[in-house]
Structure 1
Amino acid sequence: MTDLAHRQPDVTLATFDAATLAVLHAMEEAAEKHLDAIRPHNTKRGYANDWALWGEFHDWLAERTGHALPLTAVTKGTLVGFVVWLDAIKLAAPNSIDRRITGVTVTARNEHGVEVPKAATVAARKALKPMKADPERVARGRGKAAAATPEQLRQMSAAAADGLTGLRDRALWLLAFSVAGRSAEVSALRADGIVHVSNGLEVHVPSVKGRPARDVVVHCGKNPDTCPVRAWLTWRAAAGITSGPAFLPIDVWGNLGDHTLSPAACRDIIARNAERAGVAVRLTGHSMRAGFITTSRVAGKREEKIRAQSGHAENSPAFWGYIREADKWSDAASEDIGL
């Protein structure tokens, strides 16, 4: 039997007249509107989050290359780079990365009129394939970020890099811990919003993503290796900064940049230094925030004081989850019951 593909010529848009092309174009637009209308709200929200991550990846890339690419540059190189960034920096699970690839390509096409080359998506999923075969990567995203402890912070301080980079990194993770800061909040800190007073630091944590700004105090630490006040003052003096972003990028030659570190870069610094120090658990940017809450609670601090530092709402399930975790060994039901 003769294959129809060999008997029928390929039909391309170039074979149609102008009137037919106009109708086809209108049908394409109608199809997109219909598909968008029936697309679930959660899917749309997921695609919006994927595109926001795509923008964060571009910010991270710009810090390292010195050149900002347009978000519409969805190519083989940028999409594979996005996969590697999600894996190495964001520590995302492979299935999550797979969904992000789809979200970026769909948003590029539907919202920005960019048709992503098939070769780009094929290459991205080829880069993803060995990640899906790695059990440790597959297990990512199952559970909360590990809460950092003061002992782990001392371990990180002992292993910090020499020079300006080490001073910045130590100040960054100790301030992130001490203000219970989200990575976006640490990124937004301003040098002139961190005031040195007799007892320590008065820190203005700016509003990020619609969350209220807050003013917190950071007390001097007893251990010089983990004192956030000492770390900040040392970094500030070495970098010669009195205003502008609190934390700046540093290139491989030790030169300071002139723009703020992105939230992704802040998370990268924490994760990289924890790994460098051989910390037994995987620490992320959120580990500093979780660690402050649990550490303060174990030290006997009141809930309202801890919430004022972290900026959690009074009825926040996440906050009370941290409190329960910190309290689980305090007056435990199984303690001293005659066993």
Structure 2
Amino acid sequence: MTDEMPELAAAGLPPLPVPGAFDAETLGLWFALLDPVRRAVRAPGTWNAYAVDLAHFAEWCTRTERQPLPAEPETVAAYLADHVETLSISTLRRRLAAIAVAHGIIGVPSPTDGEHVSLVWRGLRRVHEPQRKPRKVDAVEIRELAVLVAPLQDTVMDHRDRALLVMGFAGALRRSELSALDVSDVVVEPGRLLVTIREAGSRAERTVELPRGHRLETCPVRSWKAWITVARLTEGAAFRRMTKGGRSLRPERLGDRGVAEVVKRRTLDVGLDPTLFSGHSLRAGFVTAASRAGVPSVSIARQTGHRSAAALAACVREDRPFPRNPAAHVGL
């Protein structure tokens, strides 16, 4: 039912011992002990998410006096049933993948492959999946943005990630738009950046202004200038991939999934749950913050490129999407 890396067993790679603790930090270090072959099977952001997933499963096992690794099929089935009302089907699917991978790493069969778990999983999906609304990721507002960029230092990767996060928030950019940016799309003017936004491989859609920020760490202008200076960028992709470990810059464009992984990795680095955030969190954070500040929806939409009020309102992460209701100001 889940991908348990059978190719690794076929390659005769040695298993790892069961970790001594099951908190996310220890599990992250445990996954880091894998040899390069096994690590390369998945992206770094996936391993980080698996550490959080497995820690959640293990914490539940401790509370219910069950063993997390190796786990019994009945334990996994009970975990699914206990969380189907509070976690999305997609999150539970990834939790199953993390459990399966962990068992593969210690060299034992995965309990997720048993018929009992399969039957429970199919039943839960049939009952719950059609009724669920699409999951909304949490927003990265200015408070969270400041927290994410605070630990960043003077490395090439840190400069890239700071510019990506700050510009993604200030421009309310989709992850595909961040990925598609070229150096030539960003024009530095006194006190601002003018950024031409386009989807990958398409003509220009709109131009947005990113003003100079009051604080150095969240200033789009200074973050961008520092990034292109340290990376020595004069043309081509604005945001690029890094070599393993982030030691140097590669020529390839950072893809939209790479943008999402930057957000998830930086949330994990500051102790937030990366499963609650995605590349869309920056865009949702801007819309929420601007709405709360009373910025007219038409002005917000001019920055975001939304074409309908419903789509714009869906980005707001609070009960009252537009607090300055126009109906309160027309003399009723």
Number of residues of Structure 1 aligned to a counterpart in Structure 2: 227
State the match for 2:252 in structure 1.
259
User: By how many angstroms is 1:268 displaced?
Assistant: 0.4
Q: Is the 8 A contact 1:182 1:286 kept in 2?
A: yes
> Please, which of 207, 212, 230 is the counterpart of residue 215 of structure 1?
207
In 2, the alpha carbon distance for the partners of 1:146 and 1:182 equals 15
The worse-fitting range, judged by mean Cα deviation, of 180-189 and 271-280 is 271-280
Asked whether the 8 Å contact 1:207–1:214 carries over to 2, the reply is no
Counterpart of 2:270 in structure 1 is 277
* Aligned counterparts of 1:128 and 1:249: Cα–Cα separation in 2: 34
Among 177, 189, 198, the alignment partner of 2:190 is 198
Whether contact under 8 Å (1:248, 1:257) holds in the other structure is yes
One-letter amino acid of the structure 1 residue matched with residue 299 of structure 2:
K
Q: 1:312 to 1:331 in 2, by over 3 A?
A: closer
Q: CA deviation at 1:95?
A: 3.7
Match runs of 1:1-339 below 5 Å: 81=42, 85=46, 88=49, 92-95=90-93, 126=110, 143-208=135-200, 213-251=205-243, 252=245, 254-279=247-272, 282-315=276-309, 317-323=310-316, 325=318, 327=320, 330=323
Distance 1:142 1:189, change over 3 A: same
Instruction: State the shift of 1:206 in Å.
Output: 1.0
Contact kept? 2:157, 2:246, Cα under 8 Å: no
In structure 2, do the counterparts of structure 1 residues 128 and 273 end up closer, same or farther at CA, with 3 Å as the change threshold?
Answer: farther
CA shift for structure 1 position 98: 8.8
Q: 2:291·2:322 contact (CA, 8 Å) conserved in 1? A: no
Query: For 1:241, what is the secondary structure of its paired residue?
Result: coil
1:127 and 1:179 map into 2 onto residues whose CA distance is 45
CA distance in 2, matches of 1:324, 1:154: 18
Alpha-carbon spacing, 1:297–1:227, altered in 2? closer, same or farther (3 Å): same
In the alignment, residue 184 of structure 1 is paired with which amino acid? S
The alpha-carbon deviation at position 328 of structure 1 amounts to: 5.4
Q: Spell out, residue by residue over 1:73-118, the C-alpha distance to the aligned partner (whole angstroms, 9 max, x if none).
A: xxxx89x749x949939x953448999xxxxxxxxxxxxxxxxxxx
Contact 1:298 1:326 in 2 (8 A): no
C-alpha change, 1:227 and 1:210, in structure 2 (3 Å) is same
Query: Structure 1 residues 244 and 212, CA, compared in 2 at 3 Å: closer, same or farther?
Result: closer
Describe the shift of the 1:331–1:306 C-alpha distance in structure 2 as closer, same or farther (beyond 3 A). closer
Aligned CA-pair RMSD = 4.2
**Partner Cα distance (2:316, 2:266) in 1:** 27
- Give a deviation string over 1:146-203, Cα, whole Å, max 9, x none: 1111111111111225411111101011111111111111111111100001131000
Change in Cα spacing, 1:302 to 1:188, as seen in structure 2 (3 Å) is same
User: Is the CA contact (8 Å cut-off) linking 1:181 and 1:288 kept in structure 2?
Assistant: yes
In structure 2, how many angstroms separate the alpha carbons of the residues matched to 1:276 and 1:253? 15
- TM (norm. structure 2) is 0.57
The answer to whether the 8 Å contact 1:295/1:326 transfers is: no
Name the residue aligned to 2:123: none
Segments of structure 2 that go 5 or more residues without pairing to the other structure are 1-37, 54-89, 98-106, 121-127, 326-332
1:322 CA drift (Å) = 3.3
User: Structure 1 residues 207, 97: closer, same or farther in 2, change over 3 A?
Assistant: farther
Q: Does the 8 Å CA contact 2:173/2:304 hold for their aligned counterparts?
A: yes
Distance 1:302 1:253, change over 3 A: closer
Scaled by the length of structure 1, the TM-score of the pair is 0.56
Aligned sequence identity (%) = 27
Deviation at 1:330, TM superposition (A): 3.6
After superposition, the Cα gap between the structure-2 partners of 1:242 and 1:331, relative to the gap in structure 1 and judged at 3 Å, is closer
User: CA–CA distance in 1 between the matches of 2:198 and 2:322?
Assistant: 35
Q: Which runs of 5+ in 1 are unaligned?
A: 1-76, 100-122, 333-339
Q: Taking structure 1 as reference, are residues 93 and 209 closer, same or farther at Cα in structure 2, changes over 3 Å only?
A: farther
Cα distance in 1 for partners of 2:259, 2:162 equals 11
Q: For the structure 1 residues 253 and 181, does the alpha-carbon distance in structure 2 shift closer, same or farther, using more than 3 Å as the test?
A: closer
Aligned-partner residue type, residue 255 of structure 1:
S
User: Shift of residue 287 of structure 1?
Assistant: 0.3
